[in-house]
Amino acid sequence: MSPFDCRAKAQELSDIVVKDTARKYYRIPRGGRWYGGIATADCCGCNLRCVFCWSNKPRDNPEKVGEFYTPEKVFNEITHCAQTHNYHLLRISGNEPTIAKKHLLKVLSLVEKTKYLFILETNGTLLDEEFVVNLSKFRNLHVRVSLKGTNPEEFAMLTGAFPETFDMILDHVKLLVDYRIRFNLAVMLSFSPDKHTVMLKELLKKISPTIIENFEEEYVFLYPHVVKRLKKAHVEPLTAYTPGGIPKKLI
């Protein structure tokens, strides 16, 4: 696969998974143990092609799966799930939530009137300044940026996107700092030697020491379809966990 522009990819995808303020979802709602309990809506379509991704058809063929949901319907489904299970957290996951910005902002404005906290899980590629300014208006929001690898070369190898995307994501992280948005950085370390992690941490310290305080390690979970993807890409993780052996601190 030749390297691609993930912003152009997001634009192409939005023609498939976004219709005005509605967004395509393939599973909604889903309860789960992550973050100590969270209600989730799983959306279709991502602008990266990670070799360890656990999303199959909804990522690779979003035109063939899912249904469109309005922000109101998504909000009702996940808050109902949260009420039923006594969760305090909500999220849109499964693929990349920021591809449908209008939709996401409307969901956030509905969550803002509740006691719930919304975890925005994102690959960080689409957090431009205009969008970050919009996000900075919400109190019930925590942004979790998941960075794939510790440097531009690893990022390109893992995601298929241009290596310079890595630095663009770090610029976006700086915007989150500048606009005082509650966030943390998670980094996929399964494919990185320790010395690369050390170098990344040095770089992050220069952006803001608080990034290191809330630094989250991410590792590959070896679900059967993830193993298949890794084999196809001829990429082997240095550290990974079987689904039954995931350490508690990673849940």
Q: What is the enclosing helix (H) or strand (E) of 42? A: strand 39-43
Which 118-137 positions form the footprint of ligand SF4 (CB under 6 A)? 123
Residue 123 or 192: the one with the smaller Cβ distance to ligand SF4 is 123
Closest separation in Å from C-beta 3 to ligand SF4: 15
Residue 53 or 173: the one with the smaller Cβ distance to ligand SF4 is 53
Provide the 10 A C-beta neighbour count for residue 240.
17
DSSP per-residue letters across 42-81: EE---S---TT----HHHH-TTTS-EEE-HHHHHHHHHHH
Rounded CA separation 89/78 (Å): 9
Max Cα separation, the chain? 47
Q: Which residue has the tokens 């303020």?
A: 21
Pair of tokens at residue 39: 């209600």
Closest separation in Å from C-beta 248 to ligand SF4: 22
Total residues at the site for ligand SF4 (CB under 6 A)?
A: 10
Rounded CA separation 55/65 (Å): 12
Residue 46 or 81: the one with the smaller Cβ distance to ligand SF4 is 46
Mapped onto helix, strand or coil, the DSSP state of residue 31 is: coil
Closest separation in Å from C-beta 89 to ligand SF4: 19
Q: What is the DSSP letter of 10?
A: H
Closest separation in Å from C-beta 83 to ligand SF4: 27
Instruction: Give the distance, in angstroms, between the CA of residue 18 and the centroid of all CA atoms in the same chain.
Output: 18
Q: What is the DSSP letter of 247?
A: -
Which 41-100 positions form the footprint of ligand SF4 (CB under 6 A)? 46, 48-50, 53, 55, 59, 95-96
Residue 39 or 145: the one with the smaller Cβ distance to ligand SF4 is 145
Burial class (CB in 10 A: 0-12, 13-18, 19+), 25: buried
Mapped onto helix, strand or coil, the DSSP state of residue 162 is: coil
Closest separation in Å from C-beta 123 to ligand SF4: 4
Residue 23 or 49: the one with the smaller Cβ distance to ligand SF4 is 49
Closest separation in Å from C-beta 173 to ligand SF4: 15
Rounded CA separation 224/27 (Å): 20
143 in contact with ligand SF4 (CB under 6 A): no
Closest separation in Å from C-beta 38 to ligand SF4: 17
Residue 46 or 143: the one with the smaller Cβ distance to ligand SF4 is 46
* Positions in the binding site for ligand SF4 (CB under 6 A): 46, 48-50, 53, 55, 59, 95-96, 123
